[in-house]
């Protein structure tokens, strides 16, 4: 099984794919104009920015952290999440991080720079497409690892 490139998707609260994003070998850029448009049209619909990372890379990259902060600020008071999907020891881990942002009220009283931190919300293991065909991640993995035939054969 060969990893070719990152693939991303904008995911709704119901865990449906709203939009697929092509990444490169080591980076996924979620289009900010589209995120803003989706958020303006239907606040709360942008639930998670999910993407496939190279094997073993469950952590967020510096770019991911920057994106999460920017989107979290733009979509406040709705929270923003980024998830990584990566292969670790034969399984796929979907690790979701969310931005914990200081409330506007607290921030205005305290003044200074707005406080924020990134919190790991969950680490879910996915093993077999047949057990959970509804998981959106298989579609992203197929796009990152090659065609469907190759993906099924190896798994
Ligand atoms: Zn990333």
Residue 117 lies in a domain: yes
Segment 124-136, tens digit of pLDDT: 999 989 999 999 9
Distance 141 CA to ligand 1 centre (A): 14
74 is in which domain, residue-wise?
Answer: 7-154
Residue 26 lies in a domain: yes
Distance 149 CA to ligand 1 centre (A): 26
Residue 55 lies in a domain: yes
Segment 71-116, tens digit of pLDDT: 999 999 999 999 999 999 889 999 999 999 999 899 999 888 999 9
Residue 95 lies in a domain: yes
Kindly give, in sequence order, each residue whose CB lies less than 8 Å from that of residue 100, ignoring residues fewer than 6 positions away: 116, 117, 118, 119
Give the pTM: 0.90
Distance 91 CA to ligand 1 centre (A): 18
Residue 2 lies in a domain: no
Distance 28 CA to ligand 1 centre (A): 6
Residue 83 lies in a domain: yes
Kindly give, in sequence order, each residue whose CB lies less than 8 Å from that of residue 54, ignoring residues fewer than 6 positions away: 3, 6, 25, 26, 86
Residue 1 lies in a domain: no
Distance 111 CA to ligand 1 centre (A): 32
Residue 20 lies in a domain: yes
Distance 71 CA to ligand 1 centre (A): 14
Segment 9-25, tens digit of pLDDT: 999 999 999 999 999 99
Distance 96 CA to ligand 1 centre (A): 11
Distance 105 CA to ligand 1 centre (A): 31
Distance 25 CA to ligand 1 centre (A): 11
Q: How many domains does the chain have?
A: 1
């Amino acid at each position: 099984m060969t990893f070719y490139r990152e693939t991303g998707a904008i995911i709704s609260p119901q865990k449906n794919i709203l939009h697929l994003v092509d990444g490169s070998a080591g980076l996924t850029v979620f289009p900010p104009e589209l995120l803003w448009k989706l958020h303006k049209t239907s606040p709360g619909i942008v639930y998670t920015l999910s993407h496939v990372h190279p094997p073993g890379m469950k952590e967020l990259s510096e770019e991911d952290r920057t994106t999460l902060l920017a989107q979290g600020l733009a979509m406040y008071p709705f929270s923003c999440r980024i998830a990584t999907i990566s292969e670790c020891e034969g399984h796929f881990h979907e690790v979701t991080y969310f931005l914990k942002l200081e409330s506007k009220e607290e921030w205005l009283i305290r003044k200074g720079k707005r406080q924020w931190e990134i919190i790991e919300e969950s680490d879910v293991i996915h093993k077999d497409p047949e057990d959970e065909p509804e998981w959106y991640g298989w579609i992203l993995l197929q796009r990152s690892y090659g065609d469907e035939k190759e993906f099924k054969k190896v798994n």
